[in-house]
Amino acid sequence: MVNWISSLPNFSAYGTPVYFFYLILAILPLGIGLYFGKRFSWYEALISFIFIFLMFDGSSWQQGISLICYVIYETILVMFYSHYRKHQNSAGIFYLISGLSILPLVIVKLSPAMVGHNSLLGFMGISYLTFRAVGTVIETRDGMIKSISPWKFIRFILFMPTITSGPIDRYRRFEKDYQKVPDRDKYLGLVNKGIFYLFLGFLYKFVIGYFFGQRFYPLFERLALTDSSPFSWHMLGVMYMYGFYLFFDFAGYSLFAVAISYFMGVQTPMNFKQPFKSKNIKEFWNRWHISLSFWFRDYIFMRFVFMATKKRWFKNRNALSSTAYMLNMVLMGFWHGITWYYILYGFLHGIALVVNDWWLRYKRKHLPNLPHNRLTTGIAIFVTFNFVMFTFLIFSGFLNTYFFS
């Protein structure tokens, strides 16, 4: 059985134009059903199973086994807590279930640094599934999810368009969307938007992202590595080429996920909204990887602020918000991986958020007449953009190779 599965062709999500041909062909009956006001849930489950299977067969079959075990594990935890929460509300049980829910991701992230190789528990998309599972537990604790069945949770956590690349949806939003079949006009509007996002995603990933990632970045990387100067124009080229590649590649994936979701009658939230137009770092995080930044904002930042305020850990609210920013962003850095460049990336963004808040307070108090026009807006965008690009250079790991290899 294992030999047969490992011999099958593997189709990574949104990896090639051929994948889209098969995917669009497969979901066409779903679209026809939605056009006539029917959601064929059984057919959606079937094609979702087939395409998820094709993502994790072949050479990725071990990841497929890990995915199955992971989903069973998380489903048991969520169902247990959902049943428990109807009768009791112990904080200790909540923290225990939340900790157990996030434990597989922690093991996967720590394994390379602790044992020198990737964990067998790991599979592509485990982070996104974990955020959905933990978010479901938290919303159940807050009383926002009154009841949930195993099938509904599995359908949510394994929603095929977003399983490997996000965006990170919330159970309540997803289930409300799923249960309410859009009328014909609304569905045609979703299809129209989906077609636009699909072609925009092709432009981003397969054209612009390809040139930045496969043509320009390797060229500047090679030149920078052979340059005797520690910081050079070639290093600057690496910085900008990687930053643009990261955006266009990831935004392309996210657009594909949103487009396919729309075709399936689910309005998955957007993940990017022109982040390089941001006038400050806080606005950047409201535009960049939105589902992730909002998850950390709602479940880490806001909850820390609420707890610290309730327990009066801080006398100064600015000290409280600054600590919350640093905790939030450093944790996000650790989430990317246990390496100095990921952690430094998160640390620098935390510092930037603290400085941004300080500057806004200072400007309001001491510079009330500072003009707000195109020039000052342009300067703000320029500074934010270049700070972000510099941190992307750190995030890329290139400096680790440059200085230590």
* Residues with a known catalytic role: 336
Nearest to residue 201, comparing CAs of 251, 275, 142, 130? 251
Q: Residue count of the chain, please give it.
A: 405
CA–CA separation, 322 and 50 (whole Å):
47
DSSP 304-324: HHHHHHHHT--S-HHHHHHHH
Distance separating alpha carbons of residues 122 and 62, to the nearest angstrom: 9
Q: State how far the Cα of 328 lies from the Cα of 336, in Å rounded to an integer.
A: 13
Q: How far apart are the first and last CA of the chain?
A: 42
> String of b and e for 122-143 (b: at least 16 CB within 10 Å)?
bbbbbbbbbbbbbbbbbbbbee
Judge contact between 200 and 255, C-beta under 8 A: yes
CA 342 – CA 349 distance, rounded (Å): 11
Residue appearing with tokens 């979701």: 261
Please name which of 132, 128, 10 lies closest in space to residue 64, comparing C-alpha atoms. Answer: 10
Question: How many Cα neighbours within 13 Å face the side chain of 269?
Answer: 21
Q: Strand, coil or helix: what is 282? A: helix
